[in-house]
């Protein structure tokens, strides 16, 4: 014989009518959802504006650019003194440069000093 269950002994689960929120809770949810949506929508334009504002303080030529083309007519001609040259070779190179007039006034001073002796 099976024992009959008594309905009073079995606890009943509460059955609600769904989620019930107060007005303040609904208002908080809407404010947070609006803030998150604003973050998603405004993220890129704000980041671009802030980056332009921050980089606007630097000098205009601070960016990386290609070096200007070197013009042979603008390049000064001169003597290159290397470390492997002997002192005699360096002196000869300097004397040759002075003879060409690359060191303005130096050749004239040396000639004048030689005449004064």
Q: What integer pLDDT is reported at residue 57 of this predicted model?
A: 78
Q: What CA–CA distances, in Å, run from 76 to 40, 73, 95, 102, 117? A: 58, 8, 17, 9, 34
Domain boundary assignment for the chain: 23-56, 87-116
Q: Average pLDDT in the 27-40 region? A: 95
Q: What is the pLDDT of residues 97-113, one digit of tens each?
A: 887 644 455 555 555 55
**Higher pLDDT, residue 63 or 47:** 47
CA 3, distance to chain mean position in Å, is 82
Contact 103, 76 (CB under 8 A): no
What percent of the chain is predicted at pLDDT more than 70? Answer: 62
Contact 90, 81 (CB under 8 A): yes
Neighbours of 90 (CB within 10 A): 14
Q: Report residue 27's pLDDT band, with 50, 70 and 90 as the boundaries.
A: very high
């Amino acid at each position: 014989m099976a024992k009959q269950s008594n309905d009073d002994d079995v606890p009943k689960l509460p059955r609600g009518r769904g989620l019930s929120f107060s007005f303040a809770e609904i208002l908080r949810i809407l404010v947070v959802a609006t803030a998150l949506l604003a973050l998603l929508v405004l993220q890129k334009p704000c980041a671009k504006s802030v980056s332009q504002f921050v980089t606007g303080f630097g000098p205009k030529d601070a960016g990386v650019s290609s070096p200007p083309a070197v013009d042979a007519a603008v390049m000064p001609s001169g003597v290159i003194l290397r470390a492997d040259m002997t002192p005699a070779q360096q002196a000869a190179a300097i004397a040759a440069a002075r003879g060409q007039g690359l060191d303005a006034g130096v050749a004239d001073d040396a000639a004048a000093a030689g005449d004064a002796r």
